[in-house]
Amino acid sequence: MDGGEGASCAEHASADMSDTMKIPDVSEKYPGKIGEIVLGKGDYIAGGSDGMPLLSFENTCKRRMMIAGEVVDDLTDYPELAASMFNGRQKDPVEWSLMWKSIGADMICLRLKGTDPDKGKTTEYASELVERIADATQLPVIVYGCGIPEVDDNLMKEISNSVKNRRLVLAKADEEGHKTISSAAIAGKHALIAFSNLDLNLAKQMNIVLTDFGVQRSDILMDPLMAPLGMGLDYSYSVNERIRLAALSGDKMLQIPMICDATGAWDVGDAVNDDDADLGDVVNRVTWWETMTAMAAMASGADIVIMRGPGAADMILGYADELRCD
Amino acid sequence: MPTAIEFFKLLPKTNCKDCGQPTCLAFAMLLANQKAKIDDCPHISKDSKDALEESSAPPIRTVVLGKGSEVRMGGETVLHRHERGFINPTAYAVTVSDKENIRNRIETIKKLRFERVGMVFETDMVSVRCDSGDPKVFRDAVVLVMELWEKPFALECCASVLESALSAASSRRPLIYHANTENFDDMVALSKKYSCPLVLRDPNMGSLAGLADKAKAMGVDDIVLDTGAANLKECVEKHTIARRAAIKKRFKQFGYPLMNRVGSGEYAVAIAAVSTMKYGSLVIFDDLKSYEALPLFTLRQNIYTDPQVPIQVKQGLYPIGEPNEHSPIFFTANFSLTYFTVRADIEKSKIPVWLQIVDTEGLSVLTAYSAGKFNPEHVAKALNDSGVLSKSDGIVVIPGLVARMSSKLRELLDREVIIGTTESRDIPKFLKNLKPPR
Ligand code: SF4
């Protein structure tokens, strides 16, 4: 089809200034401000906003949302479709991390699935891998365990002890367990993720529990659960917005940078279904699914977003760059 | 919304009770709570009524496009969806050029349609664009579109070409796109003559407000604003400025729905996504592909969902279809998304099922299971309490994700228990393969 507007309809910026009206100033001055968190070798900082997201006329913090690229050390449960997007480099977590760096990721999010006793990777292997990824990429690393509490407790202790000279983000402290991981983070001077289940009060409660335990507020990233597009994104969007508004209004226990995990997009049937041609190309579809999940996270207050697909990460990087509050 | 006292001041204060209330003050309180209509008082003066209607109108005007099948834009009252929710979802329109094969084009646009979780997503509008520059060609194109497309549409064209098409289309109340400083007087005249809503476009916010002010003064009520946002940043910021000004500062010139005209492809879709989250009521695309449309429609559904709908459903028995004494019994967590998804997938199978919802404090199946809130004892109690076990002797189907509870549950219930699917979307296939009830 023909593109462009008809030539005779070309747009002219209004020249006649006499008809211009004065627009009321709608920028807000808030009493509160999101804290900052220092990561890696002190060269990466997240947080620091003093206005609502994406509004350069009120948010004086010029930082853009950071992107963390997801890497797993065991591909058993990792979607094949996602794996096919990394040209084989996903087979070596260090190579994979380097690829993320070349895509432009600011951080690596490493999930140590292989430390599940059924898979058999040792804690020594795991902490060495963290070290190798951090050395190779020089990027801050977020470390998740395999999801089995006893295994992860041990793992976090080990990693915290052996990885020095850089601040990792240990994940995650939640309602079920926070003591071991908090102690590990404090001992190794690492940061940690405070996870809560889609609720402002639970998010706040988790931050209180951690600070009561002795974790500094500047060592916490909060994860209020980013439900993906089509599977509860509406709840997350509003919980995030309410957290940001409460923080800016002065609630210190919510003035903590926020991390959102957009990889949940890959669990949504409509995003990854490959058996219905009417839904359109699946690679493009899941890429949009994850990108829009990340866009909603960014618009509602995320300071860091975890991404799985390289295409989606590339897109959200571009958008986040454009939307930094310069 | 005016307060009860503001309403009271404008009422006759005779306490005549004709409105069904004991006093004018009592009536004023109902009005303030939106529990009564101004018309219920037969004695209110015309001036008072006009004043009240003006002050009780939502800060963003509702603009209605189309006849029969309508698109409603605006009517919004809040800045954040958690406050009360957004009202009229963003509409998406796709362009039809008057130089292309219109039948094929409309056919293609109609194919952009999905059915998801009991909802139908489809293109809301088309925008008929004059690329020919010829009034006759454009008019013929519009007439043909009206024959093939029942839903609302926009007319995109210069003032000089518009009238002949508009005169043929005005009964369908199309949206006129657009007036700017160049063609302002002509477009306003046409909008008034044919009483069709008009888009005002100006990339400068001050001049856009000036245009809105002038158009309103000239008698155009149904206005839509295009801030000419060229990128994501302008879209977020201009829309936020306009909406905050209208809602918090009562700046009337911005009290209208906002829209974007984008092209096609990745960046166009990104602007549409931002517009959907940030106060956009309409996005016109050159073109939209299905892999772009489905996530975008889903985003709109998420943003415009009523935020008051609780995240949990009540524990209880939910019959789907008309289940009988042999129908299978499903159970799942009370996280509302889990419920809606499972329900929709069971409905898809057209096989009647007893669905038992178990109180898991709003957690999803796996989260609840690992938190110990979805254990066999808990499930058995819910099934017993609801009485479903005496309503049906059918088999009990366990969510595949918690297959581990099957033997314990079988023991507790003393009846046939089988493991269902891990994914809700596989339920229809599962149900069809289930042997029919005895
Ligand atoms: S009908 Fe009107 S005047 Fe009479 S009591 Fe009601 S509000 Fe007052």
- Is the predicted pLDDT of residue A202 greater than 50, yes or no? yes
pLDDT for the residue A273:
84
- Is the predicted pLDDT of residue A152 greater than 50, yes or no? yes
> A26-35, B144-153, B410-419: which range is least confident on average?
B410-419
CB A229 within 8 A of CB B295: yes
Q: Give residue-wise pLDDT tens across range B199-209.
A: 999 999 999 99
pLDDT for the residue B56:
74
Q: Which residues of B touch A285 (CB under 8 A)?
A: 291, 294-295
Residue at token pair 């109609």: B110
Region B43-49 average pLDDT = 88
Rounded CA gap, A70 and A261, in Å? 10
Region A316-322 average pLDDT = 97
Partner residue facing A14 (CB), from B207, B237, B277: B207
Q: Check CB contact under 8 Å for B290 and A289.
A: no
pLDDT for the residue A2:
39
CATH number of A28-323: 3.20.20.20
pLDDT for the residue B232:
97
Domain ranges of chain A: 28-323
- Is the predicted pLDDT of residue A175 greater than 90, yes or no? no
pLDDT for the residue A141:
98
Mean pLDDT, chain A, rounded, equals: 92
Rounded CA gap, A269 and A258, in Å? 27
SS (H, E, C) chain A: CCCCCCHHHCCCCCCCHHHCCCCCCCCCCCCCCCCEEEEECCCEEEECCCCCCCCCCCCCCCCCCEEEEEEECCCCCCCHHHHHHHCCHHHCHHHHHHHHHHHCCCEEEEECHHHCCCCCCCHHHHHHHHHHHHHHHCCCEEEECCCCHHHHHHHHHHHHHHCCCCECEEEEEECCECHHHHHHHHHHCCEEEEECCCCHHHHHHHHHHHHHHCCCHHHEEEECCCCCCCCCHHHHHHHHHHHHHHHHCCCHHHCCCEEEEHHHHHHCHHHHCCCCHHHCCHHHHHHHHHHHHHHHHHHHCCCEEEECCHHHHHHHHHHHHHHCCC
pLDDT for the residue A90:
96
Region A73-90 average pLDDT = 95
- Is the predicted pLDDT of residue A14 greater than 50, yes or no? no
A117 — pLDDT class (breaks 50, 70, 90) = very high
Closest C-alpha to ligand 1, atom 4 = B16
Q: Give residue-wise pLDDT tens across range B68-100.
A: 999 999 999 999 999 999 999 999 999 999 999
pLDDT for the residue A232:
86
Rounded CA gap, A293 and A270, in Å? 14
B437 — pLDDT class (breaks 50, 70, 90) = low
Q: Give residue-wise pLDDT tens across range B380-422.
A: 999 999 999 999 999 999 999 899 999 999 999 998 999 999 8
**Ligand 1 binding pocket mutation candidate from B5, B15, B45 (most atoms within 8 A of CB):** B15
- Is the predicted pLDDT of residue A9 greater than 60, yes or no? no
Give the distance (Å) from ligand 1 centre to CA of residue B50: 17
- Is the predicted pLDDT of residue A3 greater than 60, yes or no? no
Nearest to B335 by CA among A111, A166, A231, A74: A231
Residue ranges with strand state E in B321-435: 329-333, 353-358, 396-398, 417-419
Partner residue facing B423 (CB), from A14, A269, A278: A269
Preceding peptide of B178 cis, ω within 30°:
yes
Ligand 1 atom closest to Cα of B28?
7
- Is the predicted pLDDT of residue B356 greater than 90, yes or no? yes
CB B245 within 8 A of CB A23: yes
Q: How far is CA A87 from the centre of its chain?
A: 24
Q: Check CB contact under 8 Å for A292 and B233.
A: no
Long-range contacts of B164-168 (CB under 8 A, 24+ apart): B164/B135, B164/B136, B164/B138, B164/B139, B165/B128, B165/B130, B165/B135, B165/B138, B165/B139, B165/B141, B166/B190, B166/B194, B166/B196, B167/B194, B168/B139, B168/B142, B168/B143
Q: How far is A15 from chain B (nearest CA, A)?
A: 8
pLDDT for the residue B117:
58
pLDDT for the residue A6:
40
**Ligand 1 binding pocket mutation candidate from B10, B16, B39, B44 (most atoms within 8 A of CB):** B16
Closest C-alpha to ligand 1, atom 7 = B24
Contacts of B252 (CB under 8 A, 6+ apart): B216, B246
Region B292-311 average pLDDT = 90
Q: Check CB contact under 8 Å for B294 and A14.
A: no
Give me B283's structure tokens.
Answer: 């996005």
Q: Give residue-wise pLDDT tens across range B424-433.
A: 888 999 999 9
- Is the predicted pLDDT of residue B178 greater than 90, yes or no? yes
CB B125 within 8 A of CB B96: no
Contacts of B181 (CB under 8 A, 6+ apart): A12, A14, A15, A16, A19, B202, B207, B211
**Ligand 1 binding pocket mutation candidate from B23, B43, B49 (most atoms within 8 A of CB):** B43
User: Could you say which DSSP state residue B174 is in?
Assistant: P
Q: Which residues of A touch B245 (CB under 8 A)?
A: 23-24, 26
pLDDT for the residue A275:
77
A4 — pLDDT class (breaks 50, 70, 90) = very low
Q: How far is A33 from chain B (nearest CA, A)?
A: 19
Rounded CA gap, A110 and A156, in Å? 13
Q: Give residue-wise pLDDT tens across range B217-256.
A: 999 999 999 999 999 999 999 999 999 999 999 999 999 9
B55 — pLDDT class (breaks 50, 70, 90) = confident
Closest C-alpha to ligand 1, atom 8 = B24
